[in-house]
Amino acid sequence: MTLRTFLLASVASAVALPALADVNVYTTRQPELIQPVIDAFTAETGIAVNLAFVEEGIVERLRAEGERSPADLVMTVDIANLKQIVDAGVTQPVDNAVLEEAIPAELRDPNGLWFALTSRARVVYASQERVAEGEVTTYEDLADPKWQGRICTRSGMHNYNLALLSAVIAHHGEDYARTWAEGVKANLAKKPEGGDRDQVLSIWQGECDISLGNTYYMGQMLKSDEQREAAESVRIEFPVFENGGTHVNVSGIAMTTSAPNKEEALQLMEFLVSPEAQAIYAERNNEYPVRPDAQVSELVASWGPVTPDTIGLTDVAGHRAAALRIMEEVNFDG
């Protein structure tokens, strides 16, 4: 081969190589929670990821943008949010062996329309001083008058509490769930407000004895110089449903119908369920990995084992509208 032929072949080869496209992600999760795993993906593949935080109206935005939407993927917390996005018809199915092998069937849509990435348990934070070990048992027990004036929680209208009430409906039906919500409301020490971490501060300050919260918030507080003392004043209890387990929820991902960078987006999806990414999630965010072979962080393991509830997440999500109606009817936040 002459030098001229070699140079021409090299130029042709270079022209044939496509430039790596960015992946655009709409997310309802705070970007700082997922940035470490995104950075690891970019370092490994060279593919940049643009995160757009969409706190509200993600379905409306995708519908308005239609096929012109720049979004390749949507990431969100709460199974009901995932189901709402799927039901809106703004996602497309993904048939991928890597995802199916990494994620248990109960943590992904049977038609490939959504995939869980992490899970978290809805637990009880209990005062170390005022609540005896073993005193917290079931979710049903939270409506018992023995807790009157001892419970604090964030808004009953928040997705996390709506998901829990949806699970109550799945187990016991709407009539029971309404009575339960009324019972929990009657046991509140104060009007629902703030987030899960604020409830821990309320326990520390003596305003209440127990509260509902997600497991990973405890990890965040223990890493904070300002909040560590409050976090150490409580312990995590894993209540269960009668004849069931602990309520868990997920963060998940779906591919949009537009997905202009489908190939690169699929690479990101595969990476997010890889052992490397699942380890980052577990260590940085104190969440439970979805891969059965992945280990939880040392801190999460120290809280004890969790037995997830047996009611399917899709079933739970199907009761969200009823849960919202019940919270409004009992004026939970009033």
CA neighbor of 258 nearest in space, from 43, 61, 83 = 61
241 and 107 share a domain? no
Answer yes or no: is 1 within a domain. no
Answer yes or no: is 41 within a domain. yes
Mean pLDDT of the chain: 92
321 and 222 share a domain? yes
Which tokens go with 68? Answer: 């012109």
Torsion over CA of 80, 81, 83 and 85, rounded to 10 degrees? 160
222 and 314 share a domain? yes
89 and 191 share a domain? no
Answer yes or no: is 2 within a domain. no
62 and 154 share a domain? no
**Number of domains within the chain:** 2
Residue 275: pLDDT over 80:
yes
Answer yes or no: is 114 within a domain. yes
CA dihedral sign, ordered 207, 210, 213, 214: positive
pTM, to two decimals: 0.86
pLDDT digits (tens, 9 = 90+) for 293-326: 998 999 999 999 999 998 888 899 999 999 999 9
Q: In sequence order, what are the residues at sequence separation of 6 or more whose Cβ sits closer than 8 angstroms to the Cβ of residue 245?
A: 306, 307, 308, 309, 310
Residue 259: pLDDT over 70:
yes
Answer yes or no: is 10 within a domain. no
Residue 18: pLDDT over 60:
no
Q: How sure is the predictor about 31, in pLDDT bands with cuts at 50, 70 and 90? A: confident
Q: Are 286 and 216 in contact (CB under 8 A)?
A: yes
Partners of 26 in the beta sheet? 52, 74
Which domain CATH number covers 230? 3.40.190.10
240 and 277 share a domain? no
Which tokens go with 157? Answer: 């209208």
288 is in an annotated binding site: no
217 is in an annotated binding site: yes
pLDDT, position 30:
82
Answer yes or no: is 148 within a domain. yes
pLDDT digits (tens, 9 = 90+) for 33-46: 899 999 999 999 99
pLDDT, position 147:
98
319 and 199 share a domain? yes
Q: How sure is the predictor about 115, in pLDDT bands with cuts at 50, 70 and 90? A: very high
CA neighbor of 126 nearest in space, from 183, 228, 200, 186 = 200
134 and 233 share a domain? yes
Residue 12: pLDDT over 90:
no
pLDDT, position 14:
34
162 and 257 share a domain? no
Identify the domain containing residue 133 by its residue range. Answer: 121-246+306-329
Share of the chain above pLDDT 90, in %: 85
Which tokens go with 37? Answer: 């795993």
Q: How sure is the predictor about 70, in pLDDT bands with cuts at 50, 70 and 90? A: very high
Strands (E), the chain: 23-27, 49-53, 73-77, 91-92, 115-127, 151-152, 210-214, 234-237, 248-256, 288-289
Q: How sure is the predictor about 20, in pLDDT bands with cuts at 50, 70 and 90? A: low
